Structure 1
Amino acid sequence: MRNLFRIAVFICLTAMLCSCASVSMVDTWRNPSLRGEGIRKVLVVGFSPKQSSRVVYEDTLVSELSSHGVEGVASYSVNQGNALPDWYALDRAVRRVGAQAVLTVQTIKVERQTTVQPSAVATPYPGYWYPPAFPDWDFPGYYRSMAAYGPTYVTTYDIATMQVNLFDARSDKLLWAGTIEATEPEKVTRVGKELASKVVKALRKEGVF
């Protein structure tokens, strides 16, 4: 019974891990020619065809920035309408709010991945052809041979590659860039929170804030 319990726990944990979105920072780059220190106000722009996703990414980044003493301004709160503003409108927004930098986030691509968890193979006890051995069957032997059995699990999920850029508002040059991979990108709220945490942590490590 103990082996069966362990197998059940393993299956449940595997299912839970597969159902959770996760975000990882794949690579970062810092412009060596720009200092970019002491930035205290940032305009956050989320590039997404879905307005709801754009709002989530901008709000979570603004919230994370604020928790570290940096004022963030969501672009959707500055520009009217659901569509992303053109460059000139965005430039006016930067000047209007007095932002020192512009932080952008965009999904570059989404790929479908499949993983296969092989089953544990168990040989039927005492063999495949039971009649000759039937008198010799006992429960301990049967249990030990079958307790490790488990079905094959196939999991399909999406991985999104996302690009996060920080531009210096004065020179318009790229100050910092980060590449992020996120599983289950459709779970926008969870991905947005993890992304914001990792991005701001990386920027603080670089001494930008």
Structure 2
Amino acid sequence: MKKLYLALWALMLIVMQTGCASVSLVNSWKDAEAPAKQYRKLLVVGVANNNQMRQVFEEVFSDELRKMKLTAISSYTITGVEAKQSRESLEEAVRKTGADGVLITRLVNLKRNTTTQTGFIMSDRGFSHPDFYDPVFMPTDLYGYYGATVSYATFEHRTVEVTTSTVATLQTNLFDAGTGRMVWLGTTSAVDPKGVITVSSKLSGVVIRALASQGLI
């Protein structure tokens, strides 16, 4: 029961993470020699170490595909949330669902860009008298930031702000379930991916539009 509660709590935290993100298609490839075919029943697979993130990603992606009048099955509903993904488990999921295509998305690179700004900051503080303060409104020690009366201060030129942006590169592959052949590959870039729901929704939208433009769905 405790494990179930913790799992639900972790999932709720992930669901609440819906920060801003920019997702775009960097490049794509289609097998020109593959027979022309539209895929109508897709098994959606998210490769992730975090089981809850995988579950949310697959659900969001599958839901976006269903809006296109396609049949989409989240792989975790067949293989289980806790089970480790493998070729054998995916082959079994394809057999059980009768999917004609498999969409697999995984993170291939995570890059953090750091911008440093400098300025003057106060580096020292003092008090004229230890009794000259209000313990409620002006404490003499609140993590070293507040004091009753500053009697001295020095300023130094140093780093005062570090702004970090994160760029996640993800790869989505479409495989033909009957032959196991990869028929499409797309690389997407997500800038500042702060929420798994937001990123999953935007990523699925980008991938779906790309697949539709290629006549694959």
Give me the TM-score of the superposition, normalised by structure 1: 0.70
* RMSD between superposed Cα atoms in Å: 2.1
Which secondary structure state, in structure 1, belongs to the residue aligned with residue 183 of structure 2? strand
- Pairing of 1:80-91 with structure 2 (within 5 A): 80-91=80-91
The alpha-carbon deviation at position 117 of structure 1 amounts to 8.4
The alpha-carbon deviation at position 25 of structure 1 amounts to 0.7
C-alpha distance 207-51 of structure 1, shift in aligned 2 (>3 A):
same
Query: Distance between the aligned counterparts of 1:101 and 1:156, measured in 2?
Result: 38
Does residue 203 (structure 1) correspond to residue 211 (structure 2)? The answer is yes
Which secondary structure state, in structure 2, belongs to the residue aligned with residue 43 of structure 1? strand
C-alpha distance 206-198 of structure 1, shift in aligned 2 (>3 A):
same
Query: Distance between the aligned counterparts of 1:58 and 1:200, measured in 2?
Result: 14
Query: Distance between the aligned counterparts of 1:44 and 1:158, measured in 2?
Result: 25
Q: Counterpart of 1:100?
A: 100
The alpha-carbon deviation at position 110 of structure 1 amounts to 0.6
Query: Distance between the aligned counterparts of 2:193 and 2:82, measured in 1?
Result: 21
The alpha-carbon deviation at position 81 of structure 1 amounts to 4.1
Contact 1:36 1:168 in 2 (8 A): no
- Pairing of 1:47-126 with structure 2 (within 5 A): 47-115=47-115
Greater share of strand = 2
**AA partner of residue 214 (structure 2):** E
Q: Counterpart of 1:189?
A: 197
The alpha-carbon deviation at position 80 of structure 1 amounts to 2.5
C-alpha distance 29-79 of structure 1, shift in aligned 2 (>3 A):
same
Mind listing any 5+ residue stretches in structure 1 that lack a counterpart?
A: 1-18, 120-151
How many residue pairs match? The answer is 159
Q: Which moved more, 1:50-59 or 1:173-182?
A: 50-59
Query: Distance between the aligned counterparts of 2:203 and 2:34, measured in 1?
Result: 24
The alpha-carbon deviation at position 21 of structure 1 amounts to 1.2
Q: Percent identity, aligned pairs only?
A: 35
Query: Distance between the aligned counterparts of 1:84 and 1:24, measured in 2?
Result: 29
Query: Distance between the aligned counterparts of 1:37 and 1:57, measured in 2?
Result: 26
The alpha-carbon deviation at position 85 of structure 1 amounts to 2.9
The alpha-carbon deviation at position 194 of structure 1 amounts to 0.3
Q: Counterpart of 2:149?
A: none
Does residue 158 (structure 1) correspond to residue 166 (structure 2)? The answer is yes
C-alpha distance 68-117 of structure 1, shift in aligned 2 (>3 A):
farther
Query: Distance between the aligned counterparts of 1:89 and 1:36, measured in 2?
Result: 27
Q: Deviations over 1:103-131 (max 9, x none)?
A: 00000111101246899xxxxxxxxxxxx
Query: Distance between the aligned counterparts of 2:41 and 2:72, measured in 1?
Result: 6
Mind listing any 5+ residue stretches in structure 2 that lack a counterpart?
A: 1-18, 120-159
Which secondary structure state, in structure 2, belongs to the residue aligned with residue 45 of structure 1? strand
Give me the TM-score of the superposition, normalised by structure 2: 0.68
**AA partner of residue 48 (structure 2):** S
Greater share of helix = 1
Contact 2:31 2:182 in 1 (8 A): yes
